[in-house]
Amino acid sequence: MLVRADLHIHTVLSPCAEVEMIPPLIVERALEAGLDLIAITDHNASANVPAVMEAARATGLKVLPGIELATREEVHLVCLFDTLEQVQAWQAQVDQAMPHLLNRPEHLGEQFVVDAAGNFVRREERLLLVAANLTLDQAVERVRAIGGLAIPAHIDRPANGLIAVLGFLPPNLKVDALEISQNISESGARAKYHIPERVAVVCASDAHWLDAIGTTITKFELRTRSIIELSKAFKEKRYTLLN
């Protein structure tokens, strides 16, 4: 089936995201945008994933649990999973690797944990805008070991994009896909960054506000909306970027 996917969306848990990024509005906007599949990927966190999954339950929208990790090198890495158990297992490792800094909401933004209706549950006290003490290679290996997909985020972007931070694609990087922003085409990125043929290129919105959801997406041909099928689609190039 044809699956319209936006695999990089933030919620109010990320301090840089707008306060409108609550589960019912995210789901509503995703459905309006014609999406079949989204992934929730807050910075180094996943506490709002269950709420978004719950908000989407009675709809046709599938929600994959995720985390956008900031590696030690300050490269952003989208980590996607099938189940809450898997994302929670990864979250436990990420928590152990994060420095203990406190958020300062008045300067950096609020980090709200909410329920499926968007009601306030608690504030996340520890600062999420940090670099975890995990290298890119370590993170990719561990995410895959849990059964997830590790996708370097917006590699072309100056801020926290792999190319800006590491200069070029490390030859041994074992990722299934690379995410580009809306500022470059797949063919442009493949040429500019010498992306090996076997590595897939996808795009997503990295939405921090509602209007961005579904503006930059990837269409996949999948049998089910799952990690294994995404992985196959990457390998067999069963996708089209719409950026």
Partner 1 sequence: MPRKVSVKVSQIVEALSLQVVAGHKGLEREITAGYCADLLSCVMARAKNGNVWVTLQAHPNVIAVATLLELAAVIITEGATIPAEVITRANAENIPLLATPHTTFQVVSELARLGVTAQE
Chain residues binding partner 1 by CB under 8 A are 73-74, 135-137, 163-168, 170
Q: Which residues pair with 200 in a beta bridge?
A: 177
Kindly state the smallest distance separating residue 66's Cβ from partner 1, in Å. 23
Cβ contact 15:130 at 8 Å: no
Kindly state the smallest distance separating residue 156's Cβ from partner 1, in Å. 11
Place of tokens 């922003």: 181
Cβ contact 70:160 at 8 Å: yes
Between 47 and 153, name the residue whose CB sits nearer to partner 1: 153
Between 34 and 158, name the residue whose CB sits nearer to partner 1: 158
Kindly state the smallest distance separating residue 239's Cβ from partner 1, in Å. 27
CA 32, distance to chain mean position in Å, is 20
Kindly state the smallest distance separating residue 72's Cβ from partner 1, in Å. 8
Between 54 and 137, name the residue whose CB sits nearer to partner 1: 137
Between 9 and 155, name the residue whose CB sits nearer to partner 1: 155
CA 34, distance to chain mean position in Å, is 19
Between the alpha carbon of residue 30 and those of residues 11, 166, 207, 214, the distances in Å are 13, 33, 11, 6
Between 135 and 187, name the residue whose CB sits nearer to partner 1: 135
Kindly state the smallest distance separating residue 141's Cβ from partner 1, in Å. 13
Kindly state the smallest distance separating residue 97's Cβ from partner 1, in Å. 12
Helix (H) or strand (E) holding 120: strand 120-123
What single letter denotes the amino acid at residue 5?
Answer: A
Please list, residue by residue across 22-39, b when 16 or more beta carbons sit within 10 angstroms of its beta carbon and e when fewer do.
bbbbbbbbbbebebbbbb
Instruction: Render 24-52 in DSSP notation, one character per residue.
Output: HHHHHHHHHTT-SEEEEEEETB-TTHHHH
Between 170 and 196, name the residue whose CB sits nearer to partner 1: 170
